Amino acid sequence: MSIPSQDNAIQSGRLMRVAIYVLLIFFVIYYLLPLWVMVSNSLKTLDEIRGGDMLAPPKDITFEPWRQAWSQTQIGVEATGLKPYFLNSIIMVVPAVTLSTFLGALNGYVLTKWAFRGSNLVFGLMLLACFIPFQIVLIPMARILGMLGLAGTLGGLILVHTVYGLGFTTLFFRNYYAAFPTELVRAAQIDGASFFQVFWRILVPSSGPIFVVTIIWQFTNVWNDFLFGASFSGYESTPITVALNNLVNSSTGVKEYNVHFAGAILAALPTLIVYIVSGRYFVRGLMAGAVKG
């Protein structure tokens, strides 16, 4: 066969194609609408939002809500804006992602290239751990963090995110390394390379894509987490998602919708940027999260 196979061989009429594009554009608008509402209303004054049309662009653009959201608005008792919470999230995300990714890589290496009796059971148990409803661990985790002196600290949150991230990171690397030629590993061993030498010199250099997938996956999950943040963070360690929720759902004072929208975008920005820059890898992570085996 010399004819290149098309993605889809079905032909459709001209009218049909117009209808398809109209529908596709309709859904583009549907998905972008909330983002548009957030952006446009974060640039309006409160009076304009109250008096007007939420879908309209701002009449007089003001950046005041952004300044408020970042550094001035009252969250909890203090008027600090979201800045300190944004920093908390960064301090939490970096080590949690690094640790869980690195451990996942080692685990995946062991489970595929050094399989031992029972390693499938080990993998099965780690895989199942990805899907538990975290409500099941809240009470004992709160106790353990208390005993370790980590209750209400960023250290505690880092620990929690690292251990509950291990299931997915191990899964990602295990599936990736399963396809990596074992002969290369065996050849290196015959040449006298040790366990760690094989890992660093042979597997890691060819693991670029899966590192990106795993880091993005973990970054998105940890940054967007709310449940652990709400359960285990304290006054000094509140992550941004929890702070944003406190800002929006606090019952005191005037509802500053424009500040809420600016704050919501601030909270969404890091993961959104990562997604736009490397969406391909993000999707790969999602797919790996859905289709196992």
Partner 1 sequence: MRDRLQEWVPRIVLAPSFVAVLIVVYGFILYTGWLSMTDSRMLPNNEFIGLENYSKLFALKHWNIALTNLAIFGILYIVISSVLGLFLAILLDQQIRAEGFIRTVYLYPMAISFIVTGVAWKWFLDPGIGLENTMHQWGWESFEFNWIKDRNYAIYTIVIAAIWQSSGYVMAMFLAGLRGVDNEIIKAAQVDGASGFLIYRKIIIPLMRPVFLSAFVVLTHLAIKSYDLVVAMTGGGPGRATEMPATFMYSYTFTRNQMGVGASSAIIMLIMIFSIIIPYLYSEIRAGGDKR
The pair phi, psi for residue 257, each rounded to 5°, is: -55, -40
Q: Which is nearer to partner 1, 79 or 272 (CB)?
A: 272
User: What residues from 192 to 221 belong to the interface with partner 1 (CB under 8 A)?
Assistant: 194-196, 220
Q: Which of 2, 10, 190, 235 binds partner 1 (CB under 8 A)?
A: 10
User: What residues from 243 to 272 belong to the interface with partner 1 (CB under 8 A)?
Assistant: 244-245, 248-249, 257, 260-261, 263-265, 267-268, 271-272
Contact 111, 176 (CB under 8 A): no
- 148 lines the binding site for partner 1 (CB under 8 A): no
User: What residues from 153 to 182 belong to the interface with partner 1 (CB under 8 A)?
Assistant: 163-164, 166-167, 170
- 276 lines the binding site for partner 1 (CB under 8 A): yes
Q: Which has the closest alpha carbon to 170: 225, 120, 133?
A: 120
Q: Which of 18, 54, 90, 94 binds partner 1 (CB under 8 A)?
A: 54
* Contact characters 19-48, partner 1, x per CB under 8 A: -xx-xx--xx-xxxxxx-xx--x-------
Q: How far is the CB of 239 from partner 1 (least distance, A)?
A: 10
The interface region with partner 1, picked from 62-70, 78-86, 107-115, 202-210 by CB under 8 A, is 107-115
Supply the DSSP string of 30-66, one letter for each residue.
HHHHHHHHHHHHHTS-HHHHHHS-TTSPPSS---HHH
Give the rounded distance of the alpha carbon of 239 from its chain centre. 14
- 87 lines the binding site for partner 1 (CB under 8 A): no
CB-CB neighbours of 226 under 10 Å: 13
The interface region with partner 1, picked from 58-66, 79-87, 126-134, 203-211 by CB under 8 A, is 126-134
Contact 54, 37 (CB under 8 A): yes
Distance, CA of 225 to CA of 134 (rounded, Å): 11
- 126 lines the binding site for partner 1 (CB under 8 A): yes
Supply the DSSP string of 69-138, one letter for each residue.
IIIIS-BTTB---SHHHHHHHHHHHHHHHHHHHHHHHHHHHHHHHS--TTHHHHHHHHHHGGGS-THHHH
- 63 lines the binding site for partner 1 (CB under 8 A): no
Distance, CA of 76 to CA of 69 (rounded, Å): 13
Q: Which is nearer to partner 1, 94 or 287 (CB)?
A: 287
